[in-house]
Amino acid sequence: MYYSIDDIRIEDVPTPRIRSDEILVEMKACGICGSDFMEWYLKGRAPLVLGHEPAGIIVKAGEKVKNFKIGDRVFVHHHVACLTCHYCLQGAYTMCENFSKTNINPGGFAEYFRVPAPNLQIDTLTIPDHLSFEEATLIEPTACCIRALNKCNVKPGDTVVIIGEGPSGIIHTMLSRNLGASQVIVSGLHRYRLEVAKRVGADLTIDPRGEDFMEGVKEATGGRGADIVIATAPNIEALSAGMKVCRRGGTVCVFAPTPPSKSMRIRPHRLFFSEINVIPSYSTSHIETRMALSLISSGRIEVKEIITHRFPLNRINDAFKTAAKRKECLKVVVLNE
């Protein structure tokens, strides 16, 4: 139960009761996401159970449930759209009013969670036998990255710059390679993570504390700048740097949210004459989760490279401290064994 980033408690609560069209899942693995550390985003809703990257086993199923049964291994997306409103008909599923109202109960960091009917019908996926629960926790973050790159229209031959070398930055690196990017450049502050980025497909890594980020990108692109820039770090500095290294007519993706009190100045004059596109990408939908499962299941995306630490549920405080503070760390997964 999350009360604040420094106050996460283990509490006993009743096992959720399901309706006739719902299922109860025993959580087996759930990843910690960077958004789980955004106090400005969470404090108004605390106390609450976090965890939105869960995988587990169905232990109860209502009598009206079809296509799923007790014992099935599943990934469950915590938000789903209605598929019928104006936003959904435009393909803007994450803007659907129903999207944020459909939540698993109480959350992924629990021994058991209830899956409401909309989530079950629209975005609960069966995990293949050869895929571990740990790997399945990467479906949601991979899907978020797929959606962002699709919105940015990454094409074969593009130079993609990724600012931020956390799990999302590493996934973007692997996906950019799969999409045919001829050059992938990753900027970050941790040597260990930059080495992982290099191992999974980055052509060039830059630590801006000791290297000139702008000059590095210019040199790698013949002075032109990047075709696509993905700002995965949740701060204004990352977005500002992304705008500076983007080529004329290129695209900057706002992949991570910043606190609502933060703002930056953009000159419309430069936007007009450079035709730089600024494209935000929030969350993901039932379309990309299926793509993510296929890529992970087939081995095209090696998510094992990202999982560095595992903790049992009763040590979730240690899990959060490791994810927040340890430098030689990428994805931390919480297990219910």
CATH number of the structural domain spanning residue 213: 3.40.50.720
Residues 26 and 76 grouped into a single domain: yes
Per-residue pLDDT, 326: 82
Residues 132 and 157 grouped into a single domain: no
Q: Residue 205 is encoded by which pair of tokens? A: 């890594």
Residues 6 and 37 grouped into a single domain: yes
Residues 125 and 167 grouped into a single domain: no
Closest CA relative to residue 162, chosen from 151, 153, 170, 154 = 170
- In the chain, DSSP assigns E strands to 2-4, 7-8, 23-31, 54-61, 73-76, 112-115, 124-126, 159-163, 183-187, 204-206, 226-231, 246-254, 277-280, 307-312, 331-335
Residues 201 and 264 grouped into a single domain: yes
Residue 290 lies in a domain: no
Residues 77 and 170 grouped into a single domain: no
Spatial distance between the Cα atoms of 11 and 6, rounded to a whole number of angstroms: 16
Q: Residue 119 is encoded by which pair of tokens? A: 């989530």
For 91-123, b/e burial (b = at least 16 CB within 10 A) is eebbbbebbeebbbbbbbbbebbbbbbbbbbbb
Residues 132 and 18 grouped into a single domain: yes
The CATH number of residue 325's host domain is 3.90.180.10
Residues 245 and 209 grouped into a single domain: yes
Per-residue pLDDT, 305: 87
Spatial distance between the Cα atoms of 161 and 228, rounded to a whole number of angstroms: 6
**C-alpha to C-alpha distances, 66 to 21, 110, 259, 328, nearest whole angstrom:** 8, 25, 42, 44
Print the domain residue range for 208.
149-280
- Coil, strand or helix at 255: coil
Residue 288 lies in a domain: no
Averaged pLDDT in 10-residue chunks for the chain of 337 residues? 93 97 98 93 92 98 97 98 98 97 97 98 98 98 98 97 97 97 97 96 96 97 98 95 97 96 93 97 98 97 94 96 90 95
Per-residue pLDDT, 277: 97
Residues 154 and 258 grouped into a single domain: yes
Residue 297 lies in a domain: no
Residues 171 and 119 grouped into a single domain: no
**Among all chains, which residue has been given the structure tokens 């571990």?**
132
Q: Residue 79 is encoded by which pair of tokens? A: 């938000």
**C-alpha to C-alpha distances, 311 to 1, 28, 134, 270, 335, nearest whole angstrom:** 16, 12, 11, 48, 6
Closest CA relative to residue 294, chosen from 200, 152, 175 = 175
Q: Would you give the DSSP letter of residue 94?
A: G
Residues 186 and 242 grouped into a single domain: yes
Domain count within the chain: 2
Per-residue pLDDT, 43: 86
Q: Residue 268 is encoded by which pair of tokens? A: 């419309």
